[in-house]
Each structure stands twice: as C-alpha cells, then as structure tokens.
Amino acid sequence: MIALLAALLGGLLSWLILQTSSVPKAVVRLSVEASGDPRFFTVLLSPGGERIVYNTPSGLMVRDLDRPDWRMIPGTADASRPFFSPDGKWIGFNAADQTLKKVSLTGGGAPLRLCGGVTQSFGATWGPDDTIVFTPDNSSGLWQVPASGGEPRELTKPDRARGEKSHRFPEYLPGGGAILFTVGTSRLSQWDDARIEALVLGTGERRAVLEGGFSASYVESGHLLYRRATSILAVPFDLGRLVTTGTPVTVVDGVQSALSAPPHFSVAHTGTLAYVPQGRDAQRLVLVDRSGEARPLTPFLGFLAEPRVSPDGRSIAVRKGGANEQIWRFEIEREAFSQITFEWDNTAPVWTPDGESLIVTSTPGWTLHRVRADGSAAAEVLSRARGARQNPGSVTADGRLLAYSATGTNTSDDIWILPLEDGEARVFLQTPAVESSPAISPNGRMLAYQSDESGRLEVYVRSFPDGGHKLQVSSGGGIHPVWARNGKELFYRVPLEGGKLRMMVADVSAASPVRISRGRPLFEDSYSDFGLFTYDVLPDGQHFVMVDVDREASQITHFNVVLNWFEELRRLVPRR
C-alpha cells in the first residue's frame, strides 16, 4: 500500500509540475502511511518540494517525490526536529546525544556534529547565509551556530521580568534579514495564546506580529501561516514592514494539536502542503492490582505523567501537559481534578509525609520548589539545593530530608540530600554513571535508586544516610524503584522488547544487615514509561496507579499531502 501511494504521489507530482502556468493547477489531496508518537513526530517538505522527511525511532525517513521508495538515513536513530538546508540537500536534526547535527542527502556519509548543549530542540531554521538559528531547550531564547559547526551564540534572551519563558519555533523570512519566532510566557496554559514576533537580525529589534498563535512561517503566496488549536490560519503579510495586512482565516482544520510538540505541518515554495491529522485524547489514570487487572480512574485525557499517591491514599498528584506543564491533584473518591501549580513548568511531584505539601522541579532553571498541596499559596524556592536540573525523589518519614538527583559539573545525574528546614545540601552518591530516582525506605535506613554503572539501568539499594553498603536488586535491567508503605517490599519495572514492561517485586527483611530477595514478576504491561516516575503504590501495597495509553488512538498512522495548495490558499485568503 505504501509503495502504491508513493508511486501515485510521484506520478501526480510529475504531471502537476509539467502543467503550464497559464492553466490553473488542480489541487490534489493524498494520504501517506506513516507511524509515530505525536509528541515527537515531524513531517517536513524540502524548500523546493522535491523531498519529504519524517522521523521514526529507528531514524529519519526520506523520499524524493519523483521516486517510489522511502529510505532511512543512517546514523539518525531517535533524531527529532529535523530541518532542511535552503537548497534541500542537507537535513539538520537534534540528535539523541543532545547535540545538533546535519547529514547530506546527496553525498552520503555519517552525520556531522554542529554543536552540543541541545537538551531538547524546540525548532531550528537554516538561513541563506548558512547560519542555523535554534531553540536548545524548553526555557531558552534563540541561539545561532554556523552550518559548518562551531560555538553557539545566544541571539535572544527571554525577558524573565515580563514573564517570558522561551523563544521557540524560529523561521527565517525570505532574504534572511529577519526571523519569525513564538514567545511563550510563564502563565500560558495553551500555545494558542502565545505571541508571534519578528526579530530583525541587523539591529536586534523585536517587532510584535500577532497575538494568539504559534509556529509561524511565511509562504510564497504572500501569507503568514500559523497554528491555533487544531487549525492552520493564514493572514496576508507585508514582508517589507513585517506586519499583517488583513484578517486571519482558518485554512486547514483537523491538524494534530501540539502542547509543546512540532508544528505538524510544512509547506514548500512550490505550494505543496503536508500536515498530520488530529488524533484523539489517549491517556488516563488506572488502578492496577498485583495480577495486572486494571480499573480506570479517569476518562481518556490529554498528556498525563508522573502519578504520585498521597500519604493517606486518597489523592494522586499528576503532571498534566500544556504550554506550561502543571501539577494537578486528582481526588479518587470524588473523581475530581484541581490545579496545584499555575506558573512556569512544574513537574516530578513528591509528597511530604504530612500530605500538606509537594516538592516539584520548576522552570526557569529546573530548580526545587515546595508548594501547598491544595494550591493555596505561592511556591517556595528551596534555594539551598545544589546541582543543575534538580529532580526530587523522596522525603524521609519524619519530613526532615529530601533525596533528589541533579546534574554535576563534570558528571551525569548524581544523588543529593537536602535538609528541608535547615542546613546545606550534600552529595550522597556521585560517580561517572547516571544515578537517579532516589527512593528512601519508610524506616529511613535504605535508599533505592537506578544507575547505569553496569552499562544499563539497574536498581540498587544503599544504606542510608551513610551510603556505605550497596546491594544490587535487579538483574537484566530495572528502573523506577518504589517502596511499599510498610517497607517490606520494593517494586521496580523491567523494560522488555516491543515497548512492554514487567512489574517486579523484591522482599525486604528487617534484619541487620538488610537482606533483599531476588525480584519476582507480578505482571507485564504496556503502561506509560514516560517521566521520572511512571507509577506509584497505594498504602495497601496491593494496587498501583499507572498511566494507561491508548496506543492505537495516540499513534500517528498517516499524514496528508495537498499538491498545489496555494491555489486554494489564494482563494480562501485573497491579498488586496
């Protein structure tokens, strides 16, 4: 079927290109099979419309539109946010090792490193002067780097005093003298309410273009295109003055919505449009027993992650998606959500033992904050914490100490201990390996964590608070350790083939020295493994709260291509 569609697409494209300009070109709509996660999936047309690209976990797929076959680009596994060079002969992308790379589509060869420090790209654009402008992470401004590689240079800085969170989705305007970009602020709940601006590169001047949209680009028909909700809107645009000259009109409906994801549409200079159609909400909280039987707690919603059960077992703190991700509280008996955090991004909730507060990590900077669990007060910065990208893990039963992970200056994630009331943070475990997900046992004598010191993630336990005695708990892989509330069991998950996981449990003795049994399986599942915490255990030790993902509904199955779309665009939004 894919080959047939590809051949049809190639034949139609060739025929349409050969049509004379004096004859109105026919608008042709096609559907092309593909698969991917809408959080990361990008479909991209080359500027000249001769190539199309989309990303898969295995690598970038590219196809010349006059040929029937797709091919995978070697060395691009887990590549995200691809972007073309102006001549369409190169593709840049955010690599899995947090770098920006480029790869030739015509000359072969391995991808070339351009720069590092790109934690998660939120857009990149390649200019006619061979400069690449990009957004390297969730809360940064625009940066630039030569297309030949080099040291990146900051181009814009978000104005924190005005609540600016990030500048993202950059797009060069024709001629390369200005760039369109989206300004996100700390209180946005959806990108529909963001602001689109233009940056004049010669002077550094920022000009407001429009309010209420994101991910803008200029097309050769003379229009500015941008996203809002599940639509693409168009408005006539004056390139010389950098202003809109009409009223925005919806020109495409039913486009995949985006929380902080790719724009999900692309337009070539030739007038070809490609876009990803809208899917369904596909995540919900479920209660799972030790045999794997599940009961839904919520209907299917948008993005959910990191469920954490309150000390009394009556509420679940959970991370919900949005332009700024926030922590919400779900009351199990009332089946009701209430919002806890409201400004900047807040993720990775950890309850204090009294159930009155949560420790979270927040932007800008991903630092630790304490918030009231009922959302009634402003967040308190835990300023004595040390390390970059601080992620809370657990609090001792007496509420005095917090275990958290943070990135060191010359190391990966390390585990730190922070006194919550008085005293300085100290390193608990720091090695060249990644150590994360610290979980303090209920009796305060042990700390479980995950580490890749063996070459893959395994679960370990160390004596607490001294850290002197170490036991390996898992064998064959292990992630996300969680203690039973009585301290007699330790749960963890094991990644399996095909995206599945296995819930494991190990028995813990109260003897000294501590003895931990070999883990035994409880059930296999395909529940979400996204986030710092992927599940939690109820106080009864018999049930787990997990995030159920409707895989069929959540996966992209195809994208749409519209040939000669400018004919339709000019009819819908005529220029004066």
Residue 69: exposure state from Cβ atoms within 10 A (0-12, 13-18, ≥19): exposed
Q: Rounded to 5 degrees, what are φ and ψ at 215?
A: 55, 65
Q: Are residues 44 and 169 in the same domain?
A: yes
What's the confidence (pLDDT) of residue 3? Answer: 45
The number of helices, as runs of H, and strands, as runs of E, in the chain is: 3, 49
Query: For residues 240 and 103, what is the distance between their CA atoms, to the nearest angstrom?
Result: 34
Would you say the C-alpha torsion 222, 52, 183, 230 has a positive or negative sign? Answer: positive
pLDDT, residue 8, reads 52
Collect all residues with Cβ–Cβ distance below 8 Å to 476 and sequence separation of at least 6. Answer: 494
Q: Are residues 478 and 404 in the same domain?
A: yes
pLDDT by position in tens, the chain (length 576) = 444 444 555 555 544 444 445 567 899 999 998 877 776 788 999 999 999 999 988 999 999 988 889 999 999 999 999 999 999 999 999 999 999 999 999 888 999 999 999 989 999 999 999 999 999 999 999 999 999 999 999 999 999 999 999 999 999 999 999 999 999 999 998 999 999 999 999 999 999 999 999 999 999 999 999 999 999 999 999 999 999 999 999 999 999 886 656 788 999 999 999 999 987 768 999 999 999 999 999 999 989 999 999 999 999 999 999 899 999 999 999 999 999 999 999 999 999 999 999 999 999 889 999 999 999 988 999 988 999 899 999 999 999 999 999 988 778 899 999 999 988 999 999 999 999 999 999 999 999 999 999 999 999 999 999 998 999 999 999 999 999 999 999 999 999 988 899 999 999 997 778 899 999 999 999 999 999 999 999 999 999 999 999 877 767 889 999 999 999 999 999 987
Distances (CA, A) of 423 to 108, 390, 419: 57, 17, 6
Is the peptide bond preceding residue 465 cis, with omega within 30 degrees of 0?
yes
Cα radius of gyration rounded to whole Å, the chain = 25
Report how far Cα 6 is from the mean position of its chain's Cα atoms. 30
- Angle subtended at Cα 329 by Cα 323 and Cα 331, rounded to the nearest 5 degrees: 145
Residues 515 and 509 sit within 8 Å (Cβ to Cβ) = yes
**Phi, psi values for residue 553, rounded to 5°:** -75, -35
How many other C-beta atoms can be found within 10 angstroms of the C-beta atom of residue 212? Answer: 14
Q: Which residues lie below 8 Å from residue 160, measured CB to CB, with a gap of 6+? A: 364
Statement to judge: residues 296 and 375 lie in one domain: yes
| CA end-to-end distance (rounded Å), the chain | 44
- Do residues 161 and 73 both lie within one domain? yes
pLDDT number for residue 23: 61
Report d(CA 38, CA 191) in Å as an integer. 16
Q: Rounded to an integer, what distance in angstroms lies between the CA atom of residue 74 and that of residue 469? A: 44
| Count of alpha carbons within 13 angstroms of residue 469, beta-carbon side | 9
Q: Burial-class residue 552 by CB neighbours within 10 Å (0-12, 13-18, 19+).
A: exposed
Domain span including residue 451: 283-549
Can you give the pLDDT at residue 261?
Answer: 61
Rounded to whole angstroms, the Cα distance separating 527 from 530 reads 9
**C-alpha to C-alpha distance for 154 and 119, rounded to whole angstroms:** 15
Tokens found for residue 245: 């000259």
Tokens describing residue 266: 């692309």
| Together in a domain, 273 and 297 | no
User: Nearest 5 degrees, angle CA 192-CA 365-CA 480?
Assistant: 95
Under 8 Å between Cβ of 56 and 35: yes
pLDDT at 94: 96
Q: What is the pLDDT of residue 17?
A: 45
Whether residues 115 and 174 share a domain: the answer is yes
Q: Are 481 and 459 in contact (CB under 8 A)?
A: yes
Contact 392, 350 (CB under 8 A): yes
> What is the distance between the alpha carbons of residues 164 and 240, in angstroms, rounded to a whole number?
27
Alpha carbons 237 and 145: distance in angstroms, whole number: 28
CATH of the domain at 308: 2.120.10.30
Q: What backbone torsions phi and psi does residue 47 show, to the nearest 5 degrees?
A: -55, -40
Q: In angstroms, how far apart are the furthest CA atoms of the chain?
A: 89
Together in a domain, 230 and 211: yes
Domain count, the chain: 2
- Those residues with Cβ within 8 angstroms of residue 416's Cβ, 6 or more apart along the chain or in another chain: 385, 386, 387, 390, 403, 404, 405, 406, 425, 426, 427, 428
Asked if 383 contacts 373 with a C-beta cutoff of 8 angstroms, the reply is no
- The whole-angstrom separation of Cα 441 and Cα 504 is 17
Question: Quick one: 519 and 380 in the same domain?
Answer: yes
Q: Are 238 and 372 found together in one domain?
A: no
pLDDT of residue 409: 76
At 211, the amino acid letter reads E
Q: Are strands 80-84 and 90-94 parallel, antiparallel or unpaired?
A: antiparallel
Count Cα neighbours of 327 within 13 Å in the Cβ-side half-sphere: 29
Give one DSSP letter per residue of 457-498, joined into a string: -EEEEEETTT---EEE--SS--EEEEE-TTSSEEEEEEE-GG
Sign of CA dihedral 269, 271, 272, 273: positive
Q: Do residues 235 and 222 touch, judged by C-beta distance below 8 A?
A: no
* DSSP secondary structure letter of residue 249: E
Tell whether 260 and 380 lie within a shared domain. Answer: no
| pLDDT for position 259 | 63
Q: Is residue 74 located within the same domain as residue 174? A: yes
Query: Which residues, in sequence order, are CB contacts of 74 under 8 Å at separation 6+?
Result: 59, 110
If asked whether residues 208 and 290 sit together in one domain, one would say no
Peptide bond into 438 cis (omega under 30): no
Read off the amino acid at residue 272.
Answer: T
**8 A C-beta contact, residue 198 and residue 173:** yes
pTM value is 0.89
